[in-house]
Structure 1
């Protein structure tokens, strides 16, 4: 049968399928080859594990065509395959091309007479055919359940409760095809029920996933862990160390910027060190330097190469975060990697992980900060035994993630230890008490915050003097607490005194002096002294612009504060103009997901509400809420505050009854995270009362007073089922291969 060769390409048509070992790559392609066998004149199955094996298999296949080919060498065989076949296109599968050092293109036929399929754990092979690269990941839960209940003999397990148990197994195994296939085979061979297997799995996942499964035709490896081991053994030793270290953290969203940040500080310099480090610190530092330094020097390209190697074997994936890449490890692979740390090295890797995470606790904003709390929580089994330097760092990390009660516990521990030690310095105790007061303030425990701040102020005056910047900062902190409890006049006196001293000691243009002016301006606003607030904020904005430039985050914050004061003065058009520009700049400069940007959404939404542009206000606040849920989590206090602000707008729109669940959910979050002694819980109670009145009035929206201002402050805050979908994807990709080969 003749074929039109006018459509032949100079290059082979390639489909690359990559994924974790045992995810069903080969079985998927084999099933496709069986289904579409009639579409090709011949099928080749090539062992792609090494260059010699590829050469041997191709030579053997071509020589089998007849006596005229029996003496061909590899190059002649490849040239033969590169020529059009009179009987139709050929299909060649290069299976398990996993060696990252293998140069594959010279081993492929030229021209368009062959359709080439490649399976590999090496994701970088996708560069051979970027537009036809299929990356296999995990199954859906429903696909996983069907696989688990489908027996090899063709029967289906329909016992009572089997669906629920299979779903629990699928979730425990992260819907990983090889693990699900192993589970199904284990249940079939041992005759145990899904419920019994689930109990075994929960009591010893590592033992079960290491258990060899025999006589299974579709499993390349005898167990899930054996598949991972095969990849691990091919990694360079230092890359193995990186994987072991990563397994000490949570399996998801590890920010690579944390390693870069730690290297910047020499894998040793804490943001806050209370006492001398112990042996654990020195052990952890040695491990980090052994892994990440080359000849004693840091080079980020070394880290890049390590991540490339891990991705080449599909042991990790990289996902974009905010100003940092995030490392993801499949939960089952994560547990396996943790189990592969030798017993005698467990303490060393643990010390290195604790140190690396603690070095991420910084007073200044860093891209990694918002991702660290889940990793600190993952290490909660170590919290009671943390060195106080680590406890202090963990307290800061947990606060950033909204885990305020856990953060408080850490900070109370630090203070308790320092009070008991005779060798602790007054300044170290003052620093620890300052962090504790911040925790109390964040939880709305304002009396305790005030008491601690008074003590800190006294300690700093005695140890550092009245005019020391740290003393002045403590005075500012105390004044903020006074503002929160309504003691505005006392707050003003403290702030005015601190500003006068800062001007004398640090000068008009010092960042701390400018920041103090901004704080005093906020108090003037709270006192209703809007003209004085505006004058100070305009001066702050002028200085920030001159010193830092118009696009610096601190300059944009100054514009934000001025816009909020315009709002308070009733100058809504001016406020709208300033705050729209603030939001635009923040999106450009720090990104849409930055905390200041989220605050700017809320501030502008408040102005739109005052201007009667309720649909625009609701749209802005809805976007802010969506972003806060995504970034901070569903139960972060910042998310709850955004819920209340959105509910406020919807009530004004006359949609109050539809916000009942939103308001109640917000109240639950605030009570759980901040307690009930704070203005946000009071706001929740007020909204709840208004909703109740709305219900009693038959849904007629009451008049909303616009006097309540809640302005954000930038500083607050298996392969048997995969073909159902993937076979279609592969068929579409290969349609062009067949077409161009005809």
Structure 2
């Protein structure tokens, strides 16, 4: 063993030398004061110190960056907080919300006002970690008059540190505002009872933790901070970068960033401080598509906020890191799963299979087993990473779009395919059966539609789209179409077709299915020529690659003949429909719903061709077959009755037709809901039956309802709206019936 070398050191003034011959851990806190003020840790036996005119920077100044020049859309909140600061004291105000929503900015603005306008002593403590909280609170005690010996005893554990701090806060000669910033782990405050009300001042806590029992102590009030309204978010960008574009351009960027204050601040700072580039708001909006949160974070250098909490791409990772350290790493996997979908509300029913096992999430890293889904979900809620909302009677969770972009960008490449597969399986399991007629099923379809689009976009951006992902989107587009939201159905079907073509090729079966799925939507939207132009090559490709008897080939032919029917090419439509009927009978069987539906379509085509011989008998036979095979309330059964009622009307049996149209109308409303466009198609036939019997007022009222309803749902230029307007005019202006 060698002899240690001698060590020498000299110090002058307030400097110190520590010397040791072995491994030692030395921690020293140095506090600087104005010349002439006493050091915080003075010699033992020193008398009581007066509150220092100049406190440590970490206590008297909020070292969190520059305060916003204008605090947008926090008027009511600031009014409430100002009243608390100006009051007699004893209040604890808790600001909670997701990372980046501006909690610290509100606290900083209130802090500055309290000091400047209300004569309060402002005290600011970083409560994000035990060390910073303890050091900051002891500095608060020193600021409020604690002696150096008291502080040495508290620092050394000889007396309760929190009791010392609150003793001096309670006996402060001046009213104060104490900000405990970034208290994202309430357990740190709870240990040693650091959070207490005091009659001498007001405590303001900022936290991401929304539901801690600590916020329910007597005298505490909670305030949830969310994102800004769109107009205020627009003004934030205009405040920071007034020359970067128009108000409308700023509004687009604000909407794209989800009106999140942190993202707006960074985006505005970047636009205002460009040197080599000079992007406009519109150019910045386009760049966001390519770079997302990575682009936003470029503005951090311009704000002086390079710390993790000031970076969009990092801010939420702090919460996830904290959860992982606390024994909930599964929260990261659950949030990554949510990032596969859209920023719209996610029904809890979509996550239920994951809680029951079998979603494949247990194979991820960190693994998410069925038993840990509920705790992970609760943890994300508690840390304001997601919110609980109710939409159309469905309990849902919702995450911010920028958060989801940030999380998705950070998913390891090895996990992406597994996550996308799990997201697709869960989405498929949540889909109601085609033809499901309940209002709840329709509302669930509307909620799920954005998530199919979100999954397509996410997978398209980060990896190859599989045929299963494309087919889920196609199926959901079909359900949205059946629910009557034709514009949304077309957008989803078009996205599925475009994405499938890019990743799978034009002639892949999933691509053909997706392209074909746009046809019925274009048909219902009255865009007949466009639908024909799309469906002709789809049908040709299906014949060539899938064969004439494949169900997808028959589907494409069926949709094409409907369009040709509307365009007046009845002969070609008849040829195609006969092929479809023969093929579906051969492939699917006589009793299959698609076969029965094709027979309904054939009856409608026969009416257009003025083929009345045997029509009524064929319609009665079809209605009976549908009722026996599908049930009396099935929508195809209702459609068969509609075909029979039209035949009765054309043959002059108006009273029978009116009665049957009434039953059809009730069946359509039960199956689709009152607001569905197809209900209006039956109502106009009822109007015609009423008119045929001389019931002019009833016919006119029914026609008016159809014309106004179609104009509202389909638009004034839709062919069916034009036809309904013409019929209403004819009925309203017709001379009174004689006889």
Query: Structure 2-normalised TM-score?
Result: 0.60
User: Cα gap change, 1:145/1:212 in structure 2, threshold over 3 Å: closer, same or farther?
Assistant: closer
- Decide which of 703, 712, 727 is 2:733's aligned counterpart: 703
Question: C-alpha distance in 1, partners of 2:130/2:122?
Answer: 20
Is the alpha carbon distance of 1:49 and 1:511 closer, same or farther for their aligned partners in structure 2, counting shifts above 3 Å?
same
CA drift of 1:208 comes to 2.5
Q: Aligned equivalents of 1:292 and 1:512: distance in 2?
A: 51
CA offsets 1:143-183 (integer angstroms, 9 cap, x no match): 445544556xxxxx665957666555444434332223223
SS of residue paired to 1:308: helix
Tell me the matched-pair count.
Answer: 561
Query: Contact between 2:172 and 2:200, CA under 8 Å: does it hold in 1?
Result: no
Partner of 1:31: 109
* 1:532 to partner: Cα distance: 4.8
Q: Which residue of 2 aligns with 1:48?
A: 127
Find 1:66's aligned residue among 118, 121, 146.
Answer: 146
**Partner SS state of residue 195, structure 1:** coil
Within-5 A mapping of 1:542-581: 561=666
Which stretches in structure 1 are left out of the alignment for 5+ residues? 1-8, 152-156, 268-284, 539-557, 565-581, 587-593, 622-640, 648-661, 671-675, 694-700, 708-742
Shift of the 88–246 alpha-carbon distance from structure 1 to 2, 3 Å rule, reads same
Aligned equivalent of 1:18: 96
Deviations for 1:666-708, whole angstroms, at most 9, x for unmatched residues?
A: 144x3xxxxx5xx445336768xx6xx9xxxxxxx9737999x
Structure 1 residues 645 and 517, CA, compared in 2 at 3 Å: closer, same or farther?
A: closer
What SS class does the counterpart of residue 497 from structure 1 fall into? helix
- Cα distance in 2 for residues equivalent to 1:490 and 1:291: 67
2:279 is the counterpart of 1:230:
no
2:696, 2:131 → 1: CA distance? 75
Deviation at residue 16 of structure 1 after TM alignment? 2.0
Q: 2:467 aligns with which of 383, 386, 391?
A: 386
Q: CA deviation at 1:96?
A: 0.6
| Higher relative contact order structure (alpha carbons within 8 Å, sequence separation ≥ 6) | 1
Q: How many Å apart are 1:32 and its aligned residue?
A: 0.9
| Deviations 1:509-557 (CA, angstroms, capped at 9, x unpaired) | x73587676445434543345665687799xxxxxxxxxxxxxxxxxxx
Q: 1:574 matched to which residue of 2? A: none
Name the counterpart of 2:724: 683
**CA drift at 1:596:** 0.7
1:96 corresponds to which of 175, 182, 187:
182
User: 2:403 matched to which residue of 1?
Assistant: 333
Alpha-carbon distance, 1:310 to partner: 2.8
Displacement of 1:35: 0.9
Distance 2:181 2:258 in 1: 25
> In structure 1, how many angstroms separate the alpha carbons of the residues matched to 2:188 and 2:266?
30
What are the Cα deviations for residues 439-490 of structure 1, in whole angstroms up to 9, with x where unaligned? 8759975968766654444234445654567654553565466678887876
Q: Does 1:136 align with 2:242?
A: no
Which aligned pairs between 1:199-214 and structure 2 lie closer than 5 A? 199=283, 202-203=286-287, 204-211=291-298, 213-214=300-301
Counterpart CA distance in 1 for 2:222 and 2:698 is: 48
Kept in 2, the 8 Å contact 1:433–1:456? The answer is: yes
Q: How far 1:55 sits from its partner (Å)?
A: 4.5
**319 and 129 in structure 1: CA distance in 2 versus 1, 3 angstrom threshold:** same
Larger radius of gyration: 2
What TM-score comes out, normalization by structure 1 length?
0.59
Give 1:311-710 correspondences, 5 Å limit: 311-361=381-431, 362-363=433-434, 364-365=436-437, 366=441, 367-378=443-454, 379=456, 386-387=467-468, 389-390=471-472, 392-397=474-479, 399-400=481-482, 401-403=485-487, 406=493, 409-411=515-517, 429-430=550-551, 433-434=554-555, 437=558, 454-462=578-586, 466=590, 471-472=595-596, 474-476=598-600, 478-479=602-603, 492-501=616-625, 511=631, 518-526=638-646, 527-528=648-649, 529=653, 532=656, 561=666, 596-599=673-676, 644-645=708-709, 666-668=715-717, 670=718, 679-683=720-724, 703=733
Structure 1 residue 233: Cα displacement: 3.1
**Other-structure match for 1:244:** 336
For the residue of structure 2 that corresponds to 1:98, the secondary structure is coil
Q: Kindly state the Cα deviation for residue 119 of structure 1 after the two structures are TM-superposed.
A: 0.8
